Amino acid sequence: MKHIGKARAYTNIALIKYWGKKDEQLILPMNSSLSLTLDAFYTETEVTFDPALSQDCFYLNDRLQNKEQTKKISKFLTIFRNKYSISHYASVDSRNFVPTAAGLASSASGLAALAGACSAALSLELSPQELSKLARRGSGSACRSIFGGFAEWRKGDSDDTSFAVQVPASSWENELSMLFILVNDTQKDVSSRDGMKRTVDTSIFYQGWLTGAADDLELAKQAIAENNFSALGEVAESNALRMHGTTLGAVPPFTYWSPDSLKAMNLVRSCRMRGIPCYFTMDAGPNVKVLVQKKDQEKLYHFFSEHFNEKQLILANTGPGLEILKPERLMDND
Ligand code: 2P0
């Protein structure tokens, strides 16, 4: 019998970053993190556990992926198979919905959708917490994409205690937006996985990062509880800068910033001086994301459109949590 499941998950952007693992196998983080799920980028994934298959296969946007590209998916499926005693290989058909081909392919939405699809395929009816733990095994940030709005990934210290939870915001999160500024990247990539490992292993600034991150998380949660936009923005911006600071202290040193990243960060400061409250954050790449209140999003967009072209600017609002699209069972003779 085939088992088919399909799910959609939205990407999330961390306001307090996950940066460093204490267990690479289980993907347990060194610090807790906090994110906002967004509606502009998402992944839909259909999984078919099929007794007729002799290996896993992975299609991304209709293209069959090679062995190397399939490895991460297959590894995740094996974790799932072992945990829930299913022996079949699977076909994974995944589609990334990203407004432009801008290097924003997200492992967060991808692995969260895969975890949801696997669970739906086997009608497991897992709790969000269990799904979050599973998604984490695929990619750390994916554990936060199980939830809409704000999510906190509590670092825990074991497979069972490391998962994300919803951060209640009395729907204040619906008043927030994020402007993505897609800048040109001429630098050689250091993946987030390699980048965080290198900083944990070698950066003399890493201990400082850890000390600050714990305090930043508390400040961010307090700001959310008080619906205090400037307090949330300030801590998010300084947390991102500290994360990026660790890369300069690594051996060999590296940075994700490009000249255009700096240009965008400076423009955010100019915007603030002009009375539009907004704050930037950056991840393991040169793109800059700007947190803004929805009521100011048009003004912010207009300001940035004088410095970047239309294709480089994407506005997103707060997005929902994991959605199951297809819980279905088909019989052998279909
Ligand atoms: C974050 N990043 O909190 C941080 C900030 C990048 C910078 O989570 O190795 O793809 O699969 O657990 O989740 C990106 O890392 O890494 C990330 P793995 P992941 O969003």
How does pLDDT run across 40-77, given as a tens digit for each residue? Answer: 999 999 999 999 999 999 999 999 999 998 999 999 99
Q: Which residues, at least 6 apart from 166, have a Cβ–Cβ distance to it below 8 Å?
A: 128, 147, 149, 150, 151
State the sign of the Cα–Cα–Cα–Cα dihedral 215, 216, 221, 225.
Answer: positive
Cβ neighbour number for residue 126 with a 10 Å cutoff? 18
Q: What is the chain's pLDDT, residue by residue, as a tens digit (334 residues)?
A: 899 999 999 999 999 999 999 999 999 999 999 999 999 999 999 999 999 999 999 999 999 999 998 999 999 999 999 999 999 999 999 999 976 545 566 789 999 999 999 999 999 999 999 999 999 999 999 999 999 999 999 999 999 999 999 999 889 999 999 999 999 766 568 989 999 999 999 999 999 999 999 999 999 999 999 999 999 999 999 999 999 999 999 999 999 999 999 999 999 999 999 999 999 999 999 999 999 999 999 999 999 999 999 999 999 999 999 999 997 545 444 4
Mutation to probe ligand 1, out of 24, 139, 143 (largest number of atoms < 8 A from CB)? 139
For residues 244-265, one letter each, b for 16 or more C-beta atoms within 10 angstroms of the residue's C-beta and e for the rest, the string is bbbbeebeeebebbbebbeebb
Residues near 131 by beta carbon (within 8 Å), at least 6 away in sequence: 112, 115, 116, 119, 146, 322
Q: Which residue's C-alpha comes closest to atom 11 of ligand 1?
A: 139
Domains by residue range for the chain, with CATH: 3-169 (3.30.230.10), 172-317 (3.30.70.890)
Both tokens of 146, joined, read 């199980």
Question: Which residue, 71, 114, 42, is CA-closest to 319?
Answer: 42
Evaluate the CA torsion angle 197, 201, 205, 211 in order and state its sign: positive
DSSP lists the bridge partners of residue 59 as 64, 93
13 vs 109: CA distance, rounded Å: 11
The token pair that represents 192 in the structure block: 């987030």
How far, in Å, is the centroid of ligand 1 from the Cα of 332? Answer: 40
Beta bridge partners of 288: 181, 282
Measure the CA–CA gap between 30 and 139, rounded to whole angstroms: 14
Instruction: Please indicate, yes or no, whether the overall pTM of this predicted structure exceeds 0.85.
Output: yes
Ligand 1 center to residue 163 CA distance, Å? 14
- CA-based R_g, the chain, Å: 20
End-to-end CA distance of the chain: 10
Q: Rounded CA gap, 211 and 162, in Å?
A: 19
Q: How far is CA 105 from CA 31, 93, 160, 196, 243, in A?
A: 24, 15, 28, 19, 21
Nearest residue by C-alpha to atom 9 in ligand 1: 193
**Distance of CA 214 from the midpoint of ligand 1 (Å):** 17
Measure 130 CA to ligand 1 centroid, in angstroms. 19
Strand intervals (E) in 155-247:
163-166, 176-181
Going by C-alpha positions, the residue among 9, 33, 264, 288 that lies closest to residue 146 is 9
Q: Report yes or no: 50 and 120 within 8 Å, Cβ to Cβ.
A: no
